[in-house]
Amino acid sequence: MKLTIDRDVFLENLNIVSRGLPSKTSMPSLYGIKMDVTSQNMFLTTSNMDISIEVMIEDKSLNIEEPGKCLINGKFFIDIIRKVNSKKVILQLLDDNQLYIKVDRGEYKLRVMNYEDYPSIDFVTLENPLSLETSLIKSIIRETGFATAKSEKRPIFTGVNFKLVNNELTCVGTDSYRLAQKKINLNDSYNDFNIVIPSKSLDELLKIIDNNDETINVYFESNKVLFKYNNVMFQTRLIDGQFPDTQRVIPTSYLATLKFNKDDLVQAIERVSIVSPHDTEKNRELTYSTVKLNISKNQNIEISTSNSQVGDAKEEVIANEIDAAEEFQIGFNSEYMLDALRSFTDYEIIIELSGNVKPFVVKGTNTTNLLQIILPVNL
């Protein structure tokens, strides 16, 4: 194996596959980047067994003198290429199991790992793709991923449910205390599916997709899904099990509807929640740590919290519109509320409430396909 490649092109591709390297694994070969060089292209592969990434480099700067293959420790290799200023990188696999790297005035020889130890990665067959815009995938991940559970107690809740029925795609993330739902009508018709993708995998995918508005092709198999984007194949395992039917959680009638300037509401909640200790999933039932919203027929809405150890906080936010059948108080986890509000790009948001123990809905005035639902905390 011997080749020359532009350093910037190489680093860009290494940065992509670096997302697939495990932080910790019992299978040491996974710390390696698998390099396969054919007479035309170079393939880089990484996997942490949850996600697997393969890039194909066919850049005009790539000059392959001799095809070959090797497995090289990802961390050290990427660190070297990252620190190098040189325009070109020369790579050569030496007879004594070392990878020779020549850059400007620097020469590196890294011990290679045993190529045969690397597990075989079966990528999904590239047939029958569902094509989506990258901007759509990115917004789905940003708007629903945060609502999934961080704890592995109920694994099904650590992923985002993607469900296609009659060309309507519904994406849901929930940790059972809050729920984010985005619906999209697809133009092209495609076979129905109902899968749960690990939220951690989606976060890594988000880091790889750049801001160019391009197409991403999605390929399915029973237990995995593959996203193909430019020269990158990003595959993740799916989460086993039945995702609960969440449609029944969504309220259908309301006691009160409030319209706020989003930033005013975010800032007021941020301030009052300083006084309330930050909630964790564990202590969220402690009512002292929740923020209260006072629904009245008056446009001056009071947001408050009280903490016996610290003190009391109260902010007034002026609602842009208010339609309340009765006056009541509702308590919520301020982090959940802030996450929900921040998922909207809208200037104005709507809160629809069905009473102080029923889930309430947060919507954007201009966003029609996204719902955030939060279960209140008993006061």
Nearer to its own copies, 221 or 312 (CB): 312
Does residue 95 belong to the site contacting its own copies (CB under 8 A)? no
Which position among 3, 275, 295, 337 is part of the footprint of its own copies (CB under 8 A)? 275
What is the smallest separation between the CB atom of 310 and its own copies, expressed in angstroms?
5
Pick the piece of the chain touching its own copies (CB under 8 A) from 34-42, 98-106, 127-135, 157-165.
98-106
CB of 96 to its own copies, least distance (A): 11
Q: How far apart are CA 33 and CA 45, in angstroms?
A: 6
Kindly report the number of other CB atoms within 10 A of residue 374's CB atom: 22
Question: With binding defined as CB under 8 A, does residue 310 bind its own copies?
Answer: yes
Shortest spacing between CB 177 and its own copies, in angstroms: 25
The type of residue at 89 is: V
Say how many C-beta atoms besides its own lie within 10 A of residue 353's C-beta.
22
Minimum separation from the CB atom of position 112 to its own copies (A):
9
314 to each of 262, 275, 304, 350, how far by Cα in Å?
Answer: 18, 10, 4, 21
Site string for its own copies, 234-273 (x = CB under 8 A): ---------------------------------xx-xxx-
- Rounded to a whole number of angstroms, the minimum distance from the CB of residue 320 to its own copies is 15
| Residues in 30-89 that interact with its own copies by CB under 8 A | 73, 76, 79-80, 83-85
* CB of 71 or CB of 239, closer to its own copies: 71
Nearer to its own copies, 97 or 366 (CB): 97
Q: By CB under 8 A, how many residues form the interface with its own copies?
A: 32
Residue type present at position 270: E
Q: Which one, 80 or 136, has the nearer CB to its own copies?
A: 80
- Dihedral sign for Cα atoms in the order 274, 276, 281, 284: negative
Determine the Cα–Cα distance for residues 47 and 118; give it in Å rounded to an integer.
Answer: 10
Which residues contact residue 72 at a Cβ distance below 8 angstroms, ignoring those fewer than 6 apart? 32, 33, 35, 99, 110, 112, 113
Tokens of 246: 């969440």
The b-or-e profile of 231-270 (16+ CB within 10 A means b, else e) is ebbbbbbbbeeebeebeebebeebbbbbbbbbeebbebbe
Tell me the C-alpha distance between 78 and 99, whole Å. 13
By beta-carbon proximity to its own copies, the closer residue of 84 and 169 is: 84
Q: Establish if 105 lies at the interface with its own copies (CB under 8 A).
A: yes
Q: Is 114 in the site for its own copies (CB under 8 A)?
A: no
115, 103, 72: which is closest to 4 by C-alpha? 103
Single out the residue of 36, 45, 32 nearest to residue 72, CA to CA: 32
- At closest approach, how far in Å is the CB of 192 from its own copies? 47
Residue type, 4: T
8 touches its own copies (CB under 8 A) = no
Q: How far is the CB of 183 from its own copies (least distance, A)?
A: 35
Nearer to its own copies (CB atom), residue 54 or residue 315: 315
Among 314, 329, 354, 369, binds its own copies (CB under 8 A): 314
If the CB atoms of residues 15 and 41 are measured against its own copies, the closer one turns out to be 15
Does residue number 94 form part of the binding site for its own copies (CB under 8 A)?
Answer: no
Q: Name which of residues 327 to 356 contact its own copies (CB under 8 A).
A: none
313 binds its own copies (CB under 8 A): yes
Are residues 180 and 193 in contact, defined by beta-carbon separation less than 8 angstroms?
Answer: no
Residue from 121, 133, 126 nearest 219 by CA: 126
Name the residues that contact its own copies, by CB under 8 A.
Answer: 73, 76, 79-80, 83-85, 98-99, 105-111, 267-268, 270-272, 274-275, 309-317
